[in-house]
């Protein structure tokens, strides 16, 4: 059967030397068909990759400070009190994200902030400090729009600490963290009620119907409630929007200074780290108490407690993720992705979405003129892909993952992967199936070519992943590794499975 991910290519054979030329498919080219390009491939782009929050967020902060007309942000979570550039040891260690956006709005820049929010999921994930949690601190509801800032929140806390009437509630060692909590809460109260000028905030939740439809297209389908499993229900009703693109000055001066970011980095302070990955770094948030709480949830398969080696750390653990800065025609796709989602999202003040995609219709239906410049030799070819069930079950990220995997399996050399969540068993199966088919093809042709099986180029696979951050993620991570025969590192889960297989009557699925 023809693979729908693969494009077809006609290669002509030279009758003189009996050779033919072909090209490798790296992109989702079937999504770029002439006249019906849902995911256009553009060739006139400049890219810059940042590793870790220190580099990526510093670049974003500089562009926000220079913005002239528009800032469009899509976030899994947004932390107003997060400092993008950090120099001190106590909050605020630099300008906060919230203050940067307030300053931009005062300059006349329209700021649109689209955040994933779910009544239950956001509280569990704590992705909107001051809104999803810590949303009822000691605070003055009368927000001073002209002087509202992180520095003023800290000053109010310091002044209140000296007041005998508040002294019992305000401890000196908590002044900075309490001020941060108050600032985030006040920022969201003001933003959600339109009190921060040109800053507009909308929230969106996962579309259960669309997620269910997308899961139905998977080869390995999650378990159902009627089968005694809850995985599918959790995915359908707890699905989050993990997109994090940023777009600045898209249409200003015909796109002359337009810049965007496609990121893994979340706009939440826990994701800020340096490239040095120091175990203790005062520029990260304090995390000792949080890690001590998480340690209670950890236990070995035999029920004995596991001592968390990170317990007692003064700061959160190091964290690595990426951001890619984009300049060029690919920004048109980022803009379309943003405005269609923005118009579909809920305005917190009206509790209703737009009736039509007005942003897309009123905005640039064609790219600004300067984004359509001719490609240069140092430019990069770019295709924006995503996972978004609401848009015709868009799973183009999966397509390019599979396409890259197939290419790697074709020859020797290596495949290197870093992934925060290594839980997609179908990917592991795809890798093995494609490699086995290549081995079989070599075996069929080797005799005629005078080759042996030992001469077939080896393929090396390197996979770098963190320990699953939640206990619920362990089974899927184990299964994905098990397909590759690499599950032995997860000894606790291995013992649990072995025990369940040997004593099935002792285990009841709930």
pLDDT of residue 346: 67
pLDDT at 349: 47
Gap between the Cα atoms of 470 and 479, Å rounded:
15
Token pair listed for 148: 């509202």
Q: What are phi and psi of 70, to 5 degrees?
A: -150, 145
The dihedral through the CA atoms of 441, 446, 452, 456 has a sign that is negative
Alpha-carbon distances of 373 from 45, 250, 331, 368, rounded to whole Å: 10, 15, 13, 10
Q: Pick out the chain residues at pLDDT < 50.
A: 1, 167, 296-302, 349, 356, 361, 363, 507-510
Within its chain, how far is the Cα of 271 from the centroid? 11
Q: Which residue has the tokens 């006040």?
A: 186
**Closest to 372 in 3D by CA, of 325, 334, 329, 332:** 329
Segment (H or E) for 438: helix 425-449
- Alpha carbons 186 and 183: distance in angstroms, whole number: 5
At 464 the pLDDT is: 92
- Residue 185's CB is within 10 A of a number of other CB atoms, namely 24
Residue range 189-212, pLDDT digits in tens? 999 988 899 999 999 988 888 998
Q: What is the pLDDT of residue 312?
A: 61
pTM: 0.88
Instruction: Check whether the bond before 92 is cis (ω within 30° of 0).
Output: yes
Cα distances from 229 to residues 220, 236, 475, 506, in angstroms, run: 14, 13, 13, 17
The two structure tokens encoding residue 178? 């309490």
Q: What pLDDT does 112 receive?
A: 96
Beta carbons within 8 Å of 111's beta carbon, 6+ residues apart? 70, 71, 73, 101, 104, 105, 198, 199, 200
Q: Which structure tokens are listed for 340?
A: 């269609």
Structural domains of the chain sorted by starting position, each given as residue range(s) with its CATH number in brackets: 42-206+241-277+318-372 (3.30.870.10), 284-317 (no CATH), 393-506 (no CATH)
Q: Confirm if 109 and 70 have CB atoms less than 8 A apart.
A: yes
CA 265 to chain centre: 6
Helix (H) / strand (E) element for 340: namely helix 331-344
Report the DSSP beta bridge partners of residue 111. 71, 199
What is the CB-side half-sphere exposure of residue 408 using CA atoms within 13 A?
Answer: 20
Whole-number Å distance between alpha carbons of 312 and 290: 9
**How confident is the model at residue 307, as a pLDDT?**
53
């Amino acid at each position: 059967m023809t693979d729908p991910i693969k494009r077809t290519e006609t290669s002509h054979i030279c009758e003189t030397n009996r050779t033919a030329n072909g090209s490798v498919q790296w992109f989702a080219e079937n999504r770029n068909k002439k006249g019906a390009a849902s995911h256009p491939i553009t060739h006139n782009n400049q890219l810059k990759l940042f590793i870790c929050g220190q580099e990526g967020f510093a670049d974003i902060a500089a562009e926000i400070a220079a913005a002239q007309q528009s800032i469009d942000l899509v976030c899994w979570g947004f932390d107003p009190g997060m400092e993008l550039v950090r120099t001190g040891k106590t909050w605020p260690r630099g300008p906060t994200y919230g203050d940067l956006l307030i300053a931009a709005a005062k300059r006349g820049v329209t700021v649109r902030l689209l955040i994933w929010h779910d009544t239950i999921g956001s509280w569990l994930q704590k992705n909107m400090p001051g809104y999803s949690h810590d949303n009822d601190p000691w605070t003055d509801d009368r927000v001073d729009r002209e002087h509202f800032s992180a520095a003023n929140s800290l000053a109010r806390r310091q002044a209140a600490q000296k007041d005998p009437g508040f002294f019992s509630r305000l401890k000196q060692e908590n002044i900075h963290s309490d001020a941060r909590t108050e600032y985030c809460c006040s920022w969201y109260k003001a933003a959600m009620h339109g009190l921060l000028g040109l800053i507009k905030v909308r929230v969106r939740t996962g579309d259960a119907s669309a997620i269910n439809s997308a899961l139905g297209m998977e080869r390995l389908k999650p378990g159902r409630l009627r089968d005694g499993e809850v995985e599918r229900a959790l995915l359908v009703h707890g699905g989050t929007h993990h997109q994090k693109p940023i777009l600045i000055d898209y249409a200003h001066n015909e796109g002359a200074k337009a810049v965007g970011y496609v990121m893994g980095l979340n706009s939440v302070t826990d994701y800020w780290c340096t490239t040095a990955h120091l175990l203790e770094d005062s520029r990260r948030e304090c995390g000792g108490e949080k890690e001590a709480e998480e340690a209670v949830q950890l236990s070995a398969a035999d029920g004995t407690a596991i001592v968390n080696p990170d317990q007692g750390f003064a700061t959160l653990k190091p964290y690595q993720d990426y951001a890619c800065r984009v300049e060029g025609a690919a920004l048109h796709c980022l803009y379309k992705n943003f405005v269609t989602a923005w118009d579909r999202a809920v305005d917190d003040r009206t509790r209703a979405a737009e009736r039509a995609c007005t942003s897309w219709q009123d905005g640039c239906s064609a790219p600004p003129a300067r984004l359509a410049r001719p490609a240069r030799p140092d430019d990069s070819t770019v295709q924006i892909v995503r996972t978004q069930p609401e848009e015709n079950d868009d799973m183009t990220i999966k397509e390019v993952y599979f396409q890259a995997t197939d290419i790697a399996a074709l020859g020797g050399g290596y495949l290197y992967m870093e992934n925060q969540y290594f839980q997609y068993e179908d990917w592991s199966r795809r890798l093995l199936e494609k490699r086995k088919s290549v081995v079989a093809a070599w075996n069929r042709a080797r005799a005629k070519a005078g080759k042996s099986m030992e001469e077939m180029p080896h393929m090396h696979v390197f996979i770098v992943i963190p320990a699953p951050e939640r206990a619920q993620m362990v089974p899927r991570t184990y299964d994905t590794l098990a397909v590759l025969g690499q599950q032995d590192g997860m000894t606790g889960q291995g013992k649990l499975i072995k025990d369940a297989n040997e004593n099935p009557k002792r285990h009841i699925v709930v």
